[in-house]
Amino acid sequence: MDLGLKGKTAIVTGGSLGIGRAIALGFAREGVDVALNYRRHDQEAKAVVQEIEKLGARGLAVKADVAHFADAEAMVKRVVAELGRLDIMVANAGITWDAPVWKMSEEQWDTVIATNLKGTFNYNRAAALVFKQQKHGKIVNISSINGLRGKFSQANYAASKAGEIALSKSLAKELGKFNVNVNVVAPGMVLTEMAGKIPAEFLKTALDETVLGRFATPEEVAHLVCFLSSDLARHITGEVVKIDGGQYI
């Protein structure tokens, strides 16, 4: 199915690895020019840009910390200047730093909230300034089913992901009159590099929760993001779409 995305430009935060990488390449296959944000993985980001260009799209990697307000605004301005436009914002960057609440430090709380929730706000706000003026745009924020249900040892992560959902619903109300759609994708467990660091017993528990008996691939999440970024989803806004194989239910 042609999603009608050819010629558009997207930003994907956390685009050097995992879900972000899959989203960036999914866009490129649809003819979308992609700017990816990354913080540490220089070689991986460079490789993603090379793959984007092999697919016939333009790629741009920008090293920036999503938790820094000014970095987000600067990146959006750079993308518009160098790639000519901005149509899609995907806030994907996120981290975990787990501990039960009685062992969680202030640094653990602050770091996860700053990266996941403030980082999403920073890039959503910077994109909204462009989208409001041009009167069109798509925002897709990557949350988690744990932002809907909570998770033991993830008070910081779950709170940040729940905050992303509330932020997205608020922005959907604020930006709807400017023809801007804001939606949330809430994955369950996804087979990424991060999942590979989870102890086997926790992975088994997560797998047992799913009704389809397997985890999602990053590419499956990317398919959903591409759809929500297209005009096929033009009447969908303020929604949270789970992609979890039934793990939540």
Annotated catalytic residues are 157
Q: Say what the alpha-carbon torsion angle 223, 224, 226, 229 is, to the nearest 10 degrees.
A: 180
Inter-helix orientation angle 119-134/69-83, to 10°: 40
Question: Whole-angstrom Cα distance, residue 128 to residue 149?
Answer: 29
CA angle 195, 39, 138 (to 5 degrees): 80
How big is the chain by its Cα radius of gyration, in Å? 17
Residue closest to 164 by CA, chosen among 233, 221, 114, 109:
114
- Interior angle at CA 183, CA 177 and CA 188, nearest 5: 170
